[in-house]
Amino acid sequence: MTSRELVIKTMKGENPGRTPVYGWVLFELEEPITRAFGSVANFEDHYEFDLAHIFGGPDPFRNCLTPLREQGVEITPEILLDVEFDGIDSESDYEDVRRSLAHHRQRDRFCYMQTPGIFEALNGVFGIENHLLYMALYPDELKEVYRKMADWNIQNASHLMDLGVDGIHVSDDWGSQKALLFSPAMLKEMIVPQHKRMAAQCKKRGVMTSLHSDGCIVPALDSIVEIGYDFIHPWQENCHMPYSLYLEKYQDKFGILGGVCVQSTLGFGNFERVETEIRRVFSLLKGKRWACCTTHFVESTCSMEELTFAFDLIRKLAA
């Protein structure tokens, strides 16, 4: 069975016994990993990663907002409705995606592609504090902005699916450490409908969908089921999301990617805790709709000794 087949079966609830393995190690640890292994790609090969998280492609706001910012214009929902987002049809925007796919396809990995969400993508446009205010002050205008954002995302995802990605991964942080960043009612009314539109287009193409959202998203879990995501990343246990909740209520609804917490476990130099926590999570989730992965990018505080210790153990337990 290839890694791609393993991941698909696992996320559908048909795990054959081996746990898929991945880790977000690139951005903070690229230099030390390269010194130790020659490249991050060599590290991924050494630990036989089953998934590939691919970044790249076009950006809706790379150029279109520059003139307004140079003029000192405050970008509000009303202003953004009149802005034409940057295009998605340039072949050059997808060259890095093609290269990554070619590399990981040779290794038969499950390739899932990072794409913008609805809320998170606009935080860089408005600023997160302003954005949260706009949700209360300009809900009608913001709903139209969200629809416009979803239209762009759907077109972008269509191009990516044409290239042959296995999954569309929507990055849309909704949670703080203890709660959603906005009310559950705002989520349902303003954001969920656009996620449903995006997910439906992927389902028509037979492509799996996943959601990345940090923090406590317990009030959003039923909405995630309604949207139809195949798996989510991460299930953040230290944000009031016990695995017991997943196992009791959601394991038959969607899979999870995570289990190795970078906020409380990996990167603190406590090898005993690393081993205890990894073994504990495997004891709870092995054989379930779960792929073992870090909960986010591993921080630069993690030594190579600790990183390899963790992944040596992960690979052993995953077998």
Q: Which domains does the chain have, with CATH numbers?
A: 3-318 (3.20.20.210)
pLDDT digits (tens, 9 = 90+) for 280-318: 999 999 999 999 999 999 999 999 999 999 999 999 999
Pairwise CA distance, residues 134 & 124, whole Å: 14
Total-model pTM: 0.95
> What is the length of the chain?
319
Other beta carbons within 10 angstroms of residue 244's beta carbon come to 10
pLDDT digits (tens, 9 = 90+) for 31-72: 999 999 999 999 999 999 999 999 999 999 999 999 999 999
CA distances to 8, 21, 319 from 316, in Å: 21, 11, 6
pLDDT grade for 1, boundaries at 50, 70 and 90: very high
* Residue-level pLDDT at 273: 98
* Residue-level pLDDT at 17: 87
What share of the chain has pLDDT > 70, as a percent? Answer: 100
23-46 burial, b if ≥16 CB within 10 A, otherwise e? Answer: bbbbebbeeebeeebeebbebbee
* Residue-level pLDDT at 16: 80
Tokens 């450490």 — which residue? 177
Where on the phi/psi map is residue 103: left (φ > 0), alpha (ψ -120 to 50), or beta? alpha
* Residue-level pLDDT at 31: 97
* Residue-level pLDDT at 15: 80
* Residue-level pLDDT at 144: 98
Q: Which of 65, 12, 58 is nearest to 158 (CA)?
A: 58
Pairwise CA distance, residues 83 & 144, whole Å: 12
pLDDT digits (tens, 9 = 90+) for 170-205: 999 999 999 999 999 999 999 999 999 999 999 999
What is the token pair recorded at 83?
């802005």
